[in-house]
Amino acid sequence: MPTIHLFVKGKVQGVFYRATAKKIADKLKLTGWIRNTKDDDVEISATGDEEQLKQFINWCKQGPEKAKVEDVIVAEEGEKFFTDFEIVR
C-alpha cells in the first residue's frame, strides 16, 4: 500500500488537529502517525489505499473547525508498514 508524508502548515497546533486527524484516519482505516513539529506545523505519515489517502489529504487541507490550514505539502514515500494510526508526542 502507498505511504504519503505530509507537512501541514498554518494554525494547526492547539486546535485538536492531531486528535481529529486520528479519528479521520481510523475511520478511513489508515495506519501511520501524526505529530507536532517544533516549527508549529503538523507532520503526518499515512499508509492506505489511494482513495483513502486522497480523502485524508482533502480533510487535511481543511482540518478541524478551529484550524487555519495555509498549506499541505505532500510527498510519496516508499511502502511502510504500521499497525495502527497513532499520535506521537
Give tens-digit pLDDT for 5-19. Answer: 999 999 999 999 999
Catalytic site includes residue 58? no
Q: How confident is the model at residue 78 (pLDDT cuts 50, 70, 90)?
A: confident
Catalytic residue among 18, 35, 58, 89: 18
Domain span including residue 56: 3-87
Residue type, 1: M
* Per-residue pLDDT reduced to its tens digit, 20-74: 999 999 999 999 999 999 999 999 999 999 999 999 999 999 999 999 999 999 9
Q: What are phi and psi of 56, to 5 degrees?
A: -65, -45
**pTM of structure:** 0.96
CA-CA distances (angstroms) from residue 62 to 12, 39, 55, 79?
A: 10, 19, 11, 26
Catalytic site includes residue 35? no
Domains in the chain: how many in total? 1
Kindly report the CATH number assigned to the domain that includes residue 56: 3.30.70.100
